[in-house]
A and B are shown apart, each in its own frame.
Chain A
Amino acid sequence: MQLEFFDARIWRYLVSAISKVIEEGVFIVSPNEGMRFRAMDPSHVILLDMYFPKDSFETFDVGEEVRIGINFEDLAKVLRRAKKEDRLILESKDSTSFSITFKGKGERTFTLPVLDIVAEEIPEPQLEFKASIKIMSDIYRDTIKDVELIGDIVKFIASSEEFKIASSSEFGEAEIIYSRESGSIIDLEVEDVQEASYTLEYFTDLSGAARVADTITIRFSTDMPAEVIHEIPQGVVFKFLVAPRVE
């Protein structure tokens, strides 16, 4: 199996974000669909889902389905060496190891062992979201940084006019409002008023992934899970679903 991707930095930021939440997991590369990774954290509060369609690769040489058991911390360390203009080649010749090659000014290849682990079967979530907000990814990252200063819980409140992100603790309060007029919202679709709270830490840990995303879509409903979708060039999608805090 051999895959070639145009920008190694996209891999770098996605894998680095994943490594903060999950220690190991399985990349599944299928000849018809492309590459997919899905996993939940040990306490089943967050579900990560990363998808690289077949067409996003410049080379997609896959005979039959390949499963690669990954230690994310180790892979993130290697990917941290990706330079700006580097392409990435992912290769697997046998079931015991796989290699990462950065193709730029030279070719730098790292070989890592494949972990002997089984991908957890996770059903597709069947959720209806009553609020959907699409914003630019840099605005999303700034917002997470703002609320981080204050508390450990982030609260989303959405109406047809505005999207409000809030946090409070003994330390103080933070409130960030994006209205239709402010121009920072690309799309806002909300039924009535939706309001829910989440553990901020997951958003913080995964905010690095937003660096390589163009836009972010947040979908949620009152006291229900939230889904954060990162739209990345070449049709690549990274999303996570996080369980709410309900008092």
Chain B
Amino acid sequence: MGGRRLPPQLCTRCKGYKKLCGLTICPILERFRTQVSITTSMRDLSLLDGATPPNIIVGEQGYPHVSLLYGIPPGIHGDQARKFNDPKEWHRRRISLNTILRLRSSIVSATIRVRVDEPEALYNKELSLAAVSEKPVESEASLERPPSMKLRFDGLLIPQGPNAKAREIRVSSNPSLPRQLEKLIWDYDVKASDAIWELYLTTNDVYIATNALSLGLLGQRKMRRIVPTRWAITAVDDIVAKRLLAKVKRYDTINEVEVYHASYLGNIFTIILAPGSFEAEMVEIWHPLTPWTQTAYEPIIYTIRETPTARITTMDGGYMATRLAIVEHLYRRKRQAKAIIVREITRDYYAPVGNWHIRETSRQALVETPTRFQNLVDALKYTSSLHRFKGLPRLLESLNLTHKILYERSLDEYLKR
């Protein structure tokens, strides 16, 4: 690094994803990678045998020649494998960051190179079907060399354990697919976005749709591509939220200000819903000593704004995840609202584990009973009391959406009826 100090403002916006610093490898993620070294329970280092939970990731480096990481916890079979990649369950049981890192570091990935425009090759070996299975799938991989004992991090993805190039990967039990998905795989006329929507409605979540999109199982025959997993995550969050929003924007507005709150993995979330047509602003407060603010002396603030006409200031996987949770909530209660989201990241979030926790913690916050207020000012005061950051009252006041809610008049005042 030669003494170069990366501004943490840049890192919180980038999260190792956009390479805003101009370096080809994120030095922060790289440092994590070497800090967490691990040992494996593999006895024969050239043969990987176990059940994939499933856990199959498509990388993005070298696009359109990308790597596929086929994750198997060595020696773990059947349902026992599920817990190694089960974000919803981790969240439900409030599994600690430590445990998540331990689970993830014991998954070994067999990697192969694939061309993004050849999804059939993966399909024929059933590798892509394993990725969308509802149950763990028995698998076997012969490795070219012993796995490197490192844990790999990424702002959007679940950390990946040791990996090694595979000579071959074999699927030895039958993947079990949702029936709707089986139908969609054979449907060469349906557009990928329509297929994602259908899958979301039948599986009631985004995770299977994300994997199906990523492995090139959806869409019109000639348009099918293998999609890097982190692109697929945000694409599916966005496609589903947009469809829900089209309906939500026709609903009546809520009539009080509601404050929802939850925290997990050192991330404190507050979601404020206020009367009015849908739009949103999210503010992230990164305390010093989180993954992206190692060199910061004071909290770094980062905001993302979505206007009523759905213009979003920056594409951010974290915002897309919380936005999905909020739109799902509004859709369920057939109401619309304006949303101010506060995400405070404390130093307890010492390693990034992917954006699933943002989606799940936001969802959890929104099923709890909200604290209700007659006006936004009181709701903002209450919100500040739920957080650690001392500057929050001023920060909330300065938000664009706050200003708009407080000061924008309605034409009704001027139109005589």
What is the interface of chain A, defined by CB distance below 8 A to chain B?
20-21, 23, 40-47, 122-123, 125-127, 152-153, 170, 199, 201, 205, 224-225, 241-247
Q: Which among B250, B276, B309 has the highest number of chain A CB atoms within 10 Å?
A: B309
- In the complex, the answer to whether B416 meets A126 with C-beta atoms within 8 Å is yes
Contact A153 B409 (CB under 8 A): no
Q: Which residue of B lies closest to A20 (CB)?
A: B309
Residues of chain B within 8 A of A152, CB atoms compared: 400, 404
By the criterion CB–CB under 8 Å, are B415 and A125 in contact? yes
A-chain residues with CB within 8 Å of residue B104 when the two chains form the complex: none
Alpha-carbon distance A44/B404, docked complex (angstroms): 13
The 17 listed contacts between A and B (C-beta, < 8 Å) are A20-B309, A40-B411, A41-B308, A42-B249, A42-B277, A42-B336, A43-B410, A44-B412, A45-B408, A45-B409, A46-B411, A123-B415, A123-B416, A242-B411, A245-B408, A245-B409, A247-B407
Judge whether B297 is part of the interface by a CB distance below 8 angstroms: no
Docked Cα-Cα span, A244 to B403, in Å, equals 12
Total A-B pairs, Cβ < 8 A:
67
Taking A43-B308, A153-B403, A245-B403 as contacts, is the C-beta distance between A123 and B417 under 8 angstroms? yes
The binding surface of chain A is classed by DSSP as: loop
Contact A45 B410 (CB under 8 A): yes
- Chain A residues with CB under 8 Å of B309's CB are 20-21, 201, 205
Tell me the complex Cα distance, A190–B32, Å.
Answer: 64
Q: Do residues A225 and B411 form an inter-chain contact, with CB atoms below 8 A?
A: yes
Q: B416 contacts which chain A residues (CB < 8 A)?
A: 123, 125-126
Measured CA separation A46–B276 after assembly (Å)? 14
- Judged by a CB distance under 8 angstroms, whether B314 is at the interface is no
In the assembled complex, the CB of B276 is this many whole angstroms from the nearest CB of chain A, namely: 5
Interface centre among B253, B276, B307, B409 (most CB of A within 10 A): B409
B411 / chain A contacts, CB cutoff of 8 Å: 40, 44-47, 125, 225, 241-243
Chain B residue contacts of A126, Cβ below 8 A: 416
Chain B neighbourhood of A47, CB < 8 A: 411, 415
- B309 CB, min distance to chain A CBs, angstroms: 5
A40 to B403, CA, bound (A): 21
Please, which residue of chain A has its CB at the minimum distance from the CB of B409? Answer: A243
Residue of A nearest to B303 (CB): A170
Closest to B404 in A: A199
Mark contacts of B240-253 with chain A using CB atoms, 8 A cut-off: 1 yes-contact digit, 0 otherwise: 00000000011001
Contact check, B404 vs A245: say whether CB atoms are below 8 A apart. yes
For residues 391 through 417 of chain B, which have their beta carbon under 8 Å from a beta carbon of chain A? 398, 400, 403-404, 407-417
Contacts of B277 in A (CB 8 A): 41-43
Q: B414 and A225: CB pair below 8 A?
A: yes
Given A123-B416, A152-B404, 10 more contacts at CB 8 Å?
A: A20-B309, A23-B249, A42-B336, A43-B253, A125-B414, A126-B416, A127-B414, A199-B408, A201-B307, A246-B409
CA–CA, A243 and B413, complex, Å: 9
Most A CB within 10 A of own CB, among B307, B398, B400, B411: B411
Given contacts A123-B415, A123-B417, A199-B404, contact A243 B410 (CB under 8 A): yes
Instruction: State the CA gap A152–B308 with chains docked (Å).
Output: 13
A41: chain B residues within 8 A (beta carbon): 277, 308
Minimum C-beta distance from B66 to chain A (A): 34
Residue of A nearest to B311 (CB): A201
- Residues of the A chain whose Cβ atoms lie less than 8 Å from the Cβ of B400: 152
Minimum CB–CB distance for A245 against chain B, Å: 4
Q: Could you tell me if B276 and A43 are in contact, using CB atoms closer than 8 angstroms?
A: yes
Q: A123 contacts which chain B residues (CB < 8 A)?
A: 415-417
> Which residues from chain A contact B414 at a C-beta distance below 8 Å?
125, 127, 224-225, 243
Give the distance in Å from the alpha carbon of A199 to the alpha carbon of B408 in the complex.
8
Q: How far apart sit A42 and B276, CA to CA, in the bound complex (Å)?
A: 8
Give the complex CA separation of A245 and B401 in angstroms. 12
Contact A44 to B249, CB < 8 A, known contacts A126-B416, A152-B400, A153-B403: no
Give complex CA distance A225, B253 in Å.
Answer: 23
Q: B145: shortest Cβ distance to chain A, in Å?
A: 51
Nearest 3 A/B pairs, CB to CB? A42-B277, A243-B409, A245-B407
How far apart are the CA atoms of A191 and B317 in the complex, in Å? 50
